[in-house]
Every structure is written in structure tokens, then in C-alpha cells.
């Protein structure tokens, strides 16, 4: 293999070439050669300053480093679309051409089989085959889509040389089998490639958790819970959630076994009674003076005042106690 040499690389590919029949493909190849030759001649780049590699549906031009790169770019931006338009005007609808183009630079070498090889050339070929460049050509009304490599943009395009509209180039990241490839696309970025046109863009806000059936929002991922301020993990001293109380029986008298048990009380008004021990007398439910029970007068329902007679009083020193 020969030693690598530095070249400016122009790659041109016909859109939907495989969809044509053999007759149409042969015609398109002749037209492609004609368009590229006229473009190079108008830029002052004759055949002695360039080498060509035929790829069937595409062509690669390796241009001598003595030719200024801005000169190559101007011819691709202005002259190539004009020459293509002239050819398409005279062709039938089946013979219309639309082209994807790439301008790159780097080192290439000629191997023992006469094939041009090199990592810079591989990089340029992947730019030419990128889905984003295909989408750019598909979505625009013109017949040419141009993409330049990162090195060409950094060394030439961004400086705004005459005839090179630096403000119309947009940074994109093209997907390839070897990972993302940075590049610059002339013209608007296709809708399908908007996400790739902004490398390192911030991610959108996290979705709001949806409450579950119990009305509680799920905790954050990782098994941690928000602390008292809602911004961090809960401390070890945080109180544990109270257990769910057991279901209580409704108010009333329930017989469990041989003895009555009170599972609750429902009192309307005053309550006279004790909470435990033995009770001698009535337990009055309801307000005094309320509706009498059947067969009794209000006075009979009212409790008798607790008054002791002189005989019931305990006289100290007598050794006798009154009734309990």
C-alpha cells in the first residue's frame, strides 16, 4: 500500500438509484458524470487535479490539496445545483436525479488492488449514507443536500469565506454503526432529525407520578422516601405509619357466650350510671324529663334525690353505722 496522502474529498450519490431499471440506471450514471465534470470545470479544477473512484450509484472525487477548499465548496453550493437543474429540465420524470453530497478532508491511501482506503474516507462515506442526510434531501424542495465534516466546518465554513453562507449550516449528529458522527448540514434540519441536531440537549421534566387505587402517590425509584421537607430521604427517627385500626362492632348490646358485652354506647342526653362494678338501681338513658317510658310518669323516670334522713346519719362515737 502506498503512503497516505492528504486530499479534499467530494462524494456524490443518486437518490433512489436502486428503484430504477437497468436502462434508467445507465442513463443516470452518464448524467451524474456529466454534472460532476461540469461542476469541477466551472470551479477551475481540471482532470489533472483530481482522481475519481466509481461506486456505481455514486462517485468520489479526490481533489489535489493545492486546490483551495473554499473553491471546492463554492462550486458544490452554487454550480452543482445549477448543472443538475439543467439536466433534469431535459429528462423525463423517470430519469430525474436528486443528489446527496459530502465534502470532507483527510488522508487516503491506494492499496495493492487499486482501492482507495483510509479512516477519513470511511468517515465521509458514513456521512453520505446517514439517514439524516437522506431525510434532509427527501423533505426539501431542492434537488441537492450537502453535509460537510467537522474538520471542514472548523477550518473553512465557520470563517465565512466569500460564497459560503456559514449561518446556513447547522450542527447535527449522525448515527452510524460505529457511533455518533458530528457534522454540519447546509439548510434546514429535517423534522425527523431535530433531536440529533442539538447534541447534549437537556432532558425534559420527569413525568408526574400517578396515584394508585388507594390515592397514594408512589415513592421515588430506589426505595427511598421523601423526608419531612420532601427533598431527601427520610431519617431513621421518622415515626412509622400508624397501623390501620381494627374494625369495631357497631354500638349496641352483643351477647358473646353467656354474658352480655357492651361494644359501644349511644347516649342521647344525660347518662347516669357507672363504668364498672355493681349497680343497684336504674340506669337512665336519655335526658331527664324527656319522653317517659310506657306505663311510667316523668316523675317516676326521674332519679330520686340522694337525701339522707336524720336517722340515716352516722353518729360518731355510737359504734353504729348508718345503712350503706
Yes or no: say if 172 and 230 are a contact pair by the CB < 8 Å rule: no
**Beta bridge mates, 241:** none
Does residue 239 lie within any of the structural domains? no
Rounded to whole angstroms, how far apart are CA atoms 232 and 83? Answer: 65
Closest C-alpha among 113, 167, 108, 100 to residue 139: 100
Does residue 78 lie within any of the structural domains? yes
**Beta bridge mates, 147:** 102, 185
- Supply the DSSP string of 253-272, one letter for each residue: EEEETTEEEE-----SS-B-
Does residue 310 lie within any of the structural domains? no
pLDDT of residue 54: 87
pLDDT of residue 241: 59
State which H helix or E strand residue 73 sits in.
Answer: helix 69-74
State which H helix or E strand residue 62 sits in.
Answer: strand 58-63
pLDDT tens per residue across all 324 residues of the chain:
778 999 999 999 999 888 888 988 899 999 999 999 999 999 999 999 999 998 878 899 999 999 999 999 999 999 999 999 999 998 888 889 999 999 999 999 988 888 889 999 999 999 999 999 999 999 999 999 999 999 999 999 999 999 999 999 999 998 877 788 899 999 999 987 665 555 544 334 444 444 444 445 444 444 444 444 444 444 444 555 555 555 555 555 555 555 554 455 544 555 554 455 555 555 555 544 555 555 555 555 555 555 544 454 444 444 444 444
Yes or no: say if 11 and 55 are a contact pair by the CB < 8 Å rule: no
Yes or no: say if 181 and 72 are a contact pair by the CB < 8 Å rule: no
Q: Encode burial over 282-312: b for 16+ CB neighbours within 10 A, e otherwise.
A: eebbbeeeeeeeeeeeeeebeeeeeeeeeee
Does residue 285 lie within any of the structural domains? no
Grid cell locating 85: 437543474
Grid cell locating 263: 361494644
Is 199 exposed, middle or buried, given 0-12, 13-18 or 19+ CB atoms closer than 10 A?
A: exposed
State which H helix or E strand residue 40 sits in.
Answer: helix 22-42
Residues 6+ apart with CB under 8 A from 52: 59, 60, 61, 62
pLDDT of residue 175: 82
3-state secondary structure of 303: coil
Yes or no: say if 166 and 180 are a contact pair by the CB < 8 Å rule: no
pTM of the full structure: 0.60
Range of the domain at 99: 5-197
Question: Residue 68 belongs to a domain with what CATH number?
Answer: 3.30.70.1230
Helical residues (DSSP H) of 90-226, grouped into ranges:
119-129, 131-139, 150-155
Does residue 284 lie within any of the structural domains? no
Does residue 158 lie within any of the structural domains? yes
Closest C-alpha among 141, 143, 139, 142 to residue 191: 139
pLDDT of residue 6: 95
Does residue 39 lie within any of the structural domains? yes
Does residue 287 lie within any of the structural domains? no
Yes or no: say if 186 and 148 are a contact pair by the CB < 8 Å rule: yes
pLDDT of residue 184: 98
pLDDT of residue 77: 97
Report the number of distinct structural domains present in the chain: 1
- Supply the DSSP string of 113-131, one letter for each residue: TS-EE-HHHHHHHHHHH-H
Yes or no: say if 168 and 187 are a contact pair by the CB < 8 Å rule: yes
Rounded to whole angstroms, how far apart are CA atoms 317 and 195? Answer: 107
pLDDT of residue 303: 52
Rounded to whole angstroms, how far apart are CA atoms 116 and 61? Answer: 11
Rounded to whole angstroms, how far apart are CA atoms 43 and 71? Answer: 7
Amino acid at each position: 500500500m502506498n503512503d497516505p496522502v492528504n486530499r479534499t474529498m467530494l462524494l456524490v450519490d443518486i437518490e433512489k438509484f436502486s428503484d430504477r431499471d437497468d436502462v434508467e440506471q445507465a442513463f443516470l450514471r452518464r448524467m451524474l458524470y456529466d454534472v460532476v465534470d461540469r461542476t469541477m470545470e466551472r470551479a477551475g479544477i481540471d482532470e489533472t487535479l483530481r482522481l475519481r473512484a466509481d461506486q456505481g450509484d455514486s462517485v468520489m472525487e479526490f481533489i489535489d490539496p493545492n486546490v483551495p477548499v473554499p473553491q471546492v465548496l463554492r462550486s458544490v453550493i452554487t454550480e452543482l445545483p445549477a448543472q443538475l437543474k439543467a439536466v433534469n429540465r431535459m429528462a423525463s420524470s423517470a430519469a430525474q436525479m436528486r443528489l446527496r453530497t459530502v465534502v470532507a478532508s483527510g488522508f487516503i491511501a491506494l492499496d495493492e488492488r487499486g482501492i482507495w482506503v483510509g479512516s477519513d474516507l470511511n468517515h465521509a462515506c458514513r456521512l453520505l449514507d446517514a439517514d439524516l442526510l437522506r431525510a434532509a434531501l427527501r423533505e426539501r424542495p431542492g434537488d441537492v443536500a450537502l453535509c460537510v465534516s467537522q474538520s471542514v466546518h472548523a477550518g473553512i465554513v465557520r470563517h465565512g469565506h466569500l460564497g459560503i453562507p456559514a449561518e446556513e449550516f447547522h450542527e447535527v449528529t449522525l448515527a452510524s454503526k460505529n457511533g455518533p458522527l458530528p457534522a454540519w448540514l447546509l439548510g434546514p434540519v429535517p423534522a425527523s432529525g431535530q433531536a440529533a441536531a442539538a447534541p447534549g440537549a437537556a432532558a425534559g421534566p420527569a413525568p408526574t407520578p400517578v396515584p394508585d387505587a388507594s390515592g397514594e402517590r408512589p415513592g421515588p425509584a430506589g426505595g427511598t422516601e421523601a423526608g419531612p421537607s420532601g427533598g431527601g430521604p427520610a431519617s431513621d427517627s421518622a415515626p412509622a405509619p400508624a397501623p390501620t385500626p381494627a374494625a369495631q362492632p357497631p354500638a349496641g348490646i352483643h351477647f358473646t357466650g353467656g354474658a352480655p358485652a357492651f361494644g359501644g354506647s349511644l347516649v342521647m342526653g344525660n347518662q347516669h350510671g357507672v363504668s364498672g362494678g355493681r349497680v343497684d338501681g336504674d340506669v337512665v338513658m336519655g335526658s331527664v324529663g324527656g319522653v317517659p317510658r310506657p306505663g311510667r310518669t316523668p316523675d317516676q323516670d326521674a332519679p330520686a334525690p340522694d337525701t339522707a334522713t336524720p336517722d340515716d346519719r352516722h353518729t360518731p362515737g355510737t359504734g353504729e353505722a348508718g345503712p350503706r
